[in-house]
Structures are given as C-alpha cells and as structure tokens.
C-alpha cells in the first residue's frame, strides 16, 4: 500500500489499494473515499501512519496482525 515507501499512506495510495476490492455496487466516489482517508488520518497531517492505520483497522474489527509493517 505504501508505494513510495515513506512509511505513510497518502490519499492516492489509498485509492490504488482499495480500487481492486470495491465491487460495482459498492463503488465509492472520490468524496466518500476522501472522508475515509480523513477518518484514518487522525492527526490531519495528510498521511496515514502505520499506527493510525492499525488503530483504524482494529476499530473495524481487523486484527493488528493483518496490517503489514513496512519493509
């Protein structure tokens, strides 16, 4: 997901990561996706840190082990 390996996820990286898993009936428009990005980006700095991603995923019921750490 972190295409440029800066240990943060920018909005465009989130779009690319989510696009393959969205089915035709659940397609999100860009405004809705931006809302999702903002909810993950808790500190509002424009990036989703690993900690923010882990917290958000845990809140959605995904165990922290399902979030891969940067290499």
Q: pLDDT tens, 21-43?
A: 766 546 557 778 889 899 999 99
Mean pLDDT of the chain: 81
Q: What pLDDT, on the 0 to 100 scale, is given for residue 34? A: 87
Q: How many CA atoms lie within 13 A of 68 on its CB side?
A: 5
Q: What pLDDT, on the 0 to 100 scale, is given for residue 15? A: 80
Q: What pLDDT, on the 0 to 100 scale, is given for residue 49? A: 93
CATH top class, domain 8-63: mainly alpha
């Amino acid at each position: 997901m972190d295409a440029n390996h800066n240990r943060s996820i920018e909005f465009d990286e989130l779009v690319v990561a989510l696009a393959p898993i969205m089915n035709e009936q659940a397609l999100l428009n860009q405004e809705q996706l931006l809302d999702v990005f903002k909810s993950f980006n808790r500190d509002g700095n424009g990036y989703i840190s690993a900690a923010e991603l882990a917290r958000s995923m845990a809140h959605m019921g995904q165990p922290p082990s399902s979030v891969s750490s940067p290499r």
